[in-house]
Amino acid sequence: MSAAIDVATQHELEQLHSRYAALLDDGPLAQWPELFTEECLYLLIPRDNHELDLPLAIMRCESRGMLRDRVRAVEQTVMHEPRYLRHHITNATAVWADGELHGVAHYSVLEVLPDALPRVLSCGRYVDRVVRCDDGRLRYAERRCIYDSVLVPNTIVYPV
């Protein structure tokens, strides 16, 4: 059984998405994993794999620790051109089910490389499970980023 969410919860959910975008786009990136639960699941999945029921995700983090490892690896080990990213998250909806928020939101990420015009790095939808934690805050227990843009323009350095 699912139930509609009230305006306050809708607002809170959108605030969570906005905080997510701000941390990825403007940092500090190290705080981004704190928006997830300890036992979270974060997947970046090409739409083809999702529709064919194939399990491969191009980013797969199965805990907050793995999110932190991803962030540190990106910041300390991956060689990449500098870039600016800008997330646009819209059409956020959710319902309550089994004590969790089951949400969907659309996203697009614009990317600006030093010598190029802006382009769409990724677009698709977030399919979320969001829970209220002991400290009263909403956190992502699960985020599946299912991207329509299956042909990736070169490299995805930062989480989507």
Partner 1 sequence: MTHNERVWPGDDATRLPYWIYSDPDIYQREMSRIFRGSIWAYAAIEAEIPEPGDFRVTRIGDRSVIVIRDEHGVIRAFVNRCAHRGVKVCRQQRGNTRFFVCPYHQWSYDAQGRLKGVPFIKGVKQLGGMPDDFRREDHGLPALAVAVRNGVVFVSFHESPPPFPEYLGETNLRYFDRVFDGRKLRLLGYSRQLIPGNWKLMFENIKDPYHASLLHVFLVTFGLFRADQKSQVRMDATGMHALLISQRGEAGKSTDTADISNLREDFTLEDPRLLDPVREYSDDATVVMQTIWPNLIVQQQSNTLALRQLQPRGPESFELHWTFFGYEDDDETMTRRRLRQANLMSSAGLVSADDSEVIKLAQDGTREHPEDAGVLLMGGRDTEDVPHMVTEAAIRAFYVRYREVMEL
| Contact residues: partner 1, CB under 8 A | 44, 46, 48-49, 52, 54-63, 65-66, 68-70, 72-74, 76-81, 150-157
Residue 43 Cβ, how far from partner 1 at the closest point, in Å?
Answer: 10
Residue 64 Cβ, how far from partner 1 at the closest point, in Å?
Answer: 8
76 or 91, CB closer to partner 1? 76
Residue 151 Cβ, how far from partner 1 at the closest point, in Å?
Answer: 5
Residue 41 Cβ, how far from partner 1 at the closest point, in Å?
Answer: 12
5 or 157, CB closer to partner 1? 157
1 or 151, CB closer to partner 1? 151
10 or 49, CB closer to partner 1? 49
Give long-range contacts, CB 8 A cutoff, 24+ apart: 62-70. Answer: 63/38, 63/39, 64/33, 64/34, 64/36, 64/37, 64/38, 64/39, 64/40, 66/42, 67/32, 67/33, 67/36, 67/40, 67/42, 67/159, 68/30, 68/33, 70/159
CB 97 within 8 A of CB 2: yes
CB 5 within 8 A of CB 96: yes
